[in-house]
């Protein structure tokens, strides 16, 4: 049975009494005996680490993976804990395990690479929003209130709020909310205008077209912009179709050579 003094030093009622084990661990040299005591301490405190992991299970990571990360944090806490400081182990272990889990989310759970500063702003804004919403109405706190609570500028708060919505990316195949016909997010995105590829060509040939004789410009306009046949062009201009064909071929060849020469 635990003594009153020991119970007062442990903030959790079910915390194992491992004070003597930690003192033995600190006194043992590296070796099998020390490893055995270390494993016993980790096993004794593992339920606490798993409870801490349970606090984060609604953030998109599986509970099993969170428990593994928590166990890693627990091992670090056991290795670094100094019983001579006179504090209960869980007062050191809880923030160490929680910090390891938060670091896991920060470094491994972002779909896109986000600067560390933005990740930190997101975490501070999120914590401030949670603190402000406790015991209050359902009203979302204002930017100014969050800034005061988190000790941040309003500009940094806006960056953190944007990051709150950017933790993971949606698939382009995801169905748009409210859609009954399977309309996906990708269906709402526009496509690249194929005419963009011809802008440079059009601008390059434009001054060369203006330099052509008026009749040749008219023939090219009627053929390529009004989509008229060579026979219709010949009839409208009062020349033979063969002559129209020769003029079109000569003009196209001349324009191509001049544009290529300009590029060179």
Distance between CA atoms of residues 62 and 66, nearest Å = 6
CB atoms within 10 A of CB 94: 19
Q: Where are the alpha helices (DSSP H) in 109-213?
A: 116-133, 143-150, 154-164, 199-210
Tens digits of per-residue pLDDT, 164-190? 766 656 666 666 666 666 667 667 777
Phi, psi for residue 227 in degrees, rounded to 5: 55, 40
Instruction: Pick the range with the lowest mean pLDDT from 95-104, 183-192, 216-225, 246-255.
Output: 183-192
DSSP 147-172: HHHHT--HHHHHHHHHHHT-SSPPPT
User: What average pLDDT does the chain have?
Assistant: 81
Give the global pTM: 0.42
Question: Is the pLDDT reported for residue 77 higher than 60?
Answer: yes
Task: Please give the domain boundaries of the chain with CATH numbers for all domains.
Answer: 4-108 (1.10.1740.10), 111-168 (1.10.10), 194-263 (1.10.10.10)
């Amino acid at each position: 049975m635990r003594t009153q003094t020991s119970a007062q030093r442990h903030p959790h009622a079910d915390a194992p009494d491992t004070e003597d084990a930690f003192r033995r661990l600190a006194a043992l040299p590296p070796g099998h005996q020390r490893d055995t005591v270390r494993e016993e301490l980790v096993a004794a405190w593992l339920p606490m680490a798993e409870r801490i992991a349970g606090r984060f299970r609604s953030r998109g990571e599986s509970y099993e993976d969170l428990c593994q990360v928590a166990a890693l944090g627990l091992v670090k806490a056991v290795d670094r804990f100094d019983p001579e400081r006179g504090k209960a182990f869980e007062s050191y272990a809880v923030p160490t395990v929680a910090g390891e889990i938060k670091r896991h989310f920060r470094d491994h759970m972002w779909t896109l690479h986000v600067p560390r500063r933005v990740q930190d702003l997101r975490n501070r804004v999120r914590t401030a929003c949670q603190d402000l919403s406790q015991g209050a109405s359902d009203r979302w706190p204002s930017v100014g209130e969050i800034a005061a609570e988190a000790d941040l500028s309003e500009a940094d708060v806006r960056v953190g709020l944007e990051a709150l919505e950017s933790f993971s990316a949606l698939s382009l195949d995801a169905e748009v909310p409210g859609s009954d016909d399977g309309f996906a997010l990708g269906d709402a995105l526009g496509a690249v205008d194929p005419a963009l590829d011809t802008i440079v060509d059009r601008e390059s040939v434009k001054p060369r077209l203006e330099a052509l004789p008026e009749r040749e410009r008219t023939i090219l306009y009627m053929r390529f912009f009004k989509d008229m046949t060579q026979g219709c062009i010949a009839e409208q201009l009062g020349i033979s179709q063969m002559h129209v064909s020769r003029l079109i071929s000569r003009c196209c060849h001349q324009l191509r050579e001049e544009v290529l020469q300009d590029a060179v």
